[in-house]
Structure 1
Amino acid sequence: MSDRDGSADRLETTAGAGAAEPADAPAIDEGRYLYCLVRADEDATLETTGVDGEPGSIVTADGIGAVVHACDGIYDSGDLAQIRRWLVRHQTVVDEAGQAFGTPIPFQFDTILRGDDDGVREWLRKERDTLERALDGLADHWEYRVEVVEIDPIDDAALLERDERLRELDERIADADEGTAFLLEQQFEQRLTERRAARRESVTADLQERLAAEAREVHALERSPSAQLSDDVAGSGSTASDDGETLCRLTLLAHEDDEGAIGSILDDVAANDGLEVRFTGPWPPYTFAPEFGDDGDGTATEHANSRP
């Protein structure tokens, strides 16, 4: 699409909240900060308070709505508390849009489209086929997060009882001289580590298989992710700290009608002694939303997920 001077509009995303603005970052005389896309009729309305207290609204075209607020620059700060407030407000607006219109396609924090509301409508019409497919594919589907935490870890004696190789090493250590015993103890510790890892993998594989029967997609996440500001906002951070070891973290894309069945599976897992299941959602499908790349005509249509 084109702005007033005929140059191509661009969808701008910052390198990351809190990052220094590059010296050559293009100025934005008039723009629209994008929160998400939803299904919406032409007469749809949404009144909300957006990032930094800006009034949010919805701009519609051909049955698709973009939740936006007017802006003239990116949001950048060295104050982490300020960034967190912005992120929380961004997520709140996306949640409100989801409640009002159904599953949204969320944009990353600080995604800005050059131009005014008419420019947004033109972009929606231009990308209508792509956006229709994305909204149809995600309709009534939400993202859920699962974390299985071992709050009462299985002790060495229990592993020893279950594993023949560990018992053999234990017996050899008892009868060995000091030098040999040292080497055998290293083998023993390595075997313990392997058995614990195998147990984690078994729990994860079994849970993934059972959840896959109810969810459309299931993906494993890192057990100990690096902390990110967006984690607290979107429920993606690990909540296990000093109160247990995370055995697995999963993210699911599931129809809202299947939430109960998923909960029943997790209840079965939580019934195991020493295990705790942490289940969050429904969230907008950040992990599963499509990415809109450069369309080749100078109009950048980038969509990035703000979850890990």
Structure 2
Amino acid sequence: MADDTDTEFEEGRYLYCAVAVDDGADLDTEGVDDEPVRLLAVDDIGVVLHDCESLYDTANMDELRKWVLQHQNVVDAAGEVFGTPIPFQFDTVLTGDDDRVREWVGEERGTLADYLDQLAGHWEYRVELRREEEALREDLVASDDRLAELDEEIEAAGSGTAFMLEKQYDQRLRELRRERRGERAAALRDRLDEFARTVDELGERTTLDDEGGDDGMETQARFTVLATDDNEEEMGEMLDEVAAETGVEVRFTGPWPPYSFVPAIGGEDGTETGG
């Protein structure tokens, strides 16, 4: 987040995404904080933007969520009109006027053109594999001889020894959970590779995620997938097969602009990032 002294400036351009320009195509929508959005074309590369005089800096989480959603809606709309865009992260601002944007596109033309070409027709999908915690625990307990041995020893032991054995039992159960997550993640990744150009593992959920909390389910794998929409249906059918297992749930979302598969834009050459 930018310092207070950096959040305001004389003139700037808020950047949503870069697109391959199609003759005659244009974008008519509103963006962050209901600002009017426009397309600035520099030869065959267009930048979707709006004029601004400050970064979008707030401590209000509801307002931040609204702005992020508005940002995403603009990028989605650009994708529908121009094809796969290069999306920029929320609150990427180039200080200066339209000529500065043209100059920046000239400086970054090689990178922008390469990614627009490489990503054409590709979209991002998110896949999360979840398993009922109690069903997973029962499966692990039923299939592991060491847990069975420890359970018998705990039953026969005195209170002090039982306490130490229970700690060993819990540690063993944690190890088995970790192993099972790794096995399930690897198996799902192999199956996703059949339909995707790139499959990357995702980290933990963030505070801006829509869902979370303790619902009795354990996440065993989260992936972001780069694939063409031609493979979407078959990939979905494969995931339906995975989800048919008792106690298993699969979340499959997309297509989204390829946020996870583009170069970082911001922080250099006059661009600033806040939020």
TM-score scaled to structure 2, two decimals? 0.89
Q: Percent identity?
A: 49
- Corresponding residue of 1:8: none
Query: Aligned letter for 1:227?
Result: T
Query: Aligned letter for 1:146?
Result: V
Matches within 5 A, 1:224-243: 224-228=204-208, 231-232=209-210, 239=212, 241-243=214-216
- Corresponding residue of 1:51: 32
CA contact (8 A) 1:32 1:112 kept: yes
Q: What SS class does the counterpart of residue 129 from structure 2 fall into?
A: strand
Matches within 5 A, 1:1-308: 15=1, 22-25=3-6, 27-41=8-22, 43-151=24-132, 153-154=134-135, 156-222=137-203, 224-228=204-208, 231-232=209-210, 239=212, 241-292=214-265, 299-300=269-270
Partners of 2:160 and 2:7 in 1: CA distance: 68
Kindly state the Cα deviation for residue 200 of structure 1 after the two structures are TM-superposed.
1.6
Q: What SS class does the counterpart of residue 48 from structure 1 fall into?
A: coil
Q: What SS class does the counterpart of residue 113 from structure 1 fall into?
A: strand
Partners of 1:280 and 1:246 in 2: CA distance: 16
Higher helix proportion (structure 1 or 2): 2
Partners of 2:138 and 2:111 in 1: CA distance: 57
Using a 3 Å threshold, how does the CA distance of structure 1 residues 152 and 22 change in structure 2: closer, same or farther?
Answer: closer
Kindly state the Cα deviation for residue 294 of structure 1 after the two structures are TM-superposed.
7.6
- Corresponding residue of 1:5: none
Using a 3 Å threshold, how does the CA distance of structure 1 residues 52 and 162 change in structure 2: closer, same or farther?
Answer: same
Using a 3 Å threshold, how does the CA distance of structure 1 residues 75 and 182 change in structure 2: closer, same or farther?
Answer: closer
Q: Deviations over 1:83-120 (max 9, x none)?
A: 22211111111100011111111111121123333332
Query: Aligned letter for 1:60?
Result: A
Q: 240-249 or 187-196, which moves further after superposition? A: 240-249
Q: Deviations over 1:16-64 (max 9, x none)?
A: xxxxx52432752222111000111354321111111111111112211
Partners of 2:9 and 2:138 in 1: CA distance: 65
Q: Which structure is richer in relative contact order (CA contacts within 8 A, separation 6 or more)?
A: 2
Kindly state the Cα deviation for residue 289 of structure 1 after the two structures are TM-superposed.
0.8
Using a 3 Å threshold, how does the CA distance of structure 1 residues 25 and 165 change in structure 2: closer, same or farther?
Answer: same
Using a 3 Å threshold, how does the CA distance of structure 1 residues 184 and 73 change in structure 2: closer, same or farther?
Answer: closer
Partners of 1:156 and 1:133 in 2: CA distance: 48
Using a 3 Å threshold, how does the CA distance of structure 1 residues 46 and 274 change in structure 2: closer, same or farther?
Answer: same
Query: Aligned letter for 1:286?
Result: Y
Using a 3 Å threshold, how does the CA distance of structure 1 residues 39 and 175 change in structure 2: closer, same or farther?
Answer: same
CA contact (8 A) 2:86 2:116 kept: yes
Q: What SS class does the counterpart of residue 119 from structure 1 fall into?
A: helix
What residue ranges of structure 1 are gaps of 5+ in the alignment? Answer: 1-14, 16-20, 233-237
TM-score scaled to structure 1, two decimals? 0.80
Q: CA RMSD in A?
A: 2.5
Q: What SS class does the counterpart of residue 226 from structure 2 fall into?
A: strand
Q: What SS class does the counterpart of residue 153 from structure 1 fall into?
A: helix
What residue ranges of structure 2 are gaps of 5+ in the alignment? Answer: none
Partners of 1:293 and 1:79 in 2: CA distance: 23
Partners of 1:175 and 1:79 in 2: CA distance: 57
Partners of 1:26 and 1:78 in 2: CA distance: 14
Using a 3 Å threshold, how does the CA distance of structure 1 residues 170 and 83 change in structure 2: closer, same or farther?
Answer: closer
Query: Aligned letter for 1:62?
Result: D
Q: What SS class does the counterpart of residue 66 from structure 2 fall into?
A: helix
Query: Aligned letter for 2:187?
Result: D
Partners of 2:254 and 2:153 in 1: CA distance: 50
CA contact (8 A) 2:150 2:169 kept: yes
CA contact (8 A) 1:39 1:64 kept: yes
Query: Aligned letter for 2:245?
Result: N
CA contact (8 A) 2:94 2:272 kept: no
Partners of 1:118 and 1:195 in 2: CA distance: 59
Q: What SS class does the counterpart of residue 134 from structure 2 fall into?
A: coil
Query: Aligned letter for 2:94?
Result: L
Using a 3 Å threshold, how does the CA distance of structure 1 residues 199 and 29 change in structure 2: closer, same or farther?
Answer: same
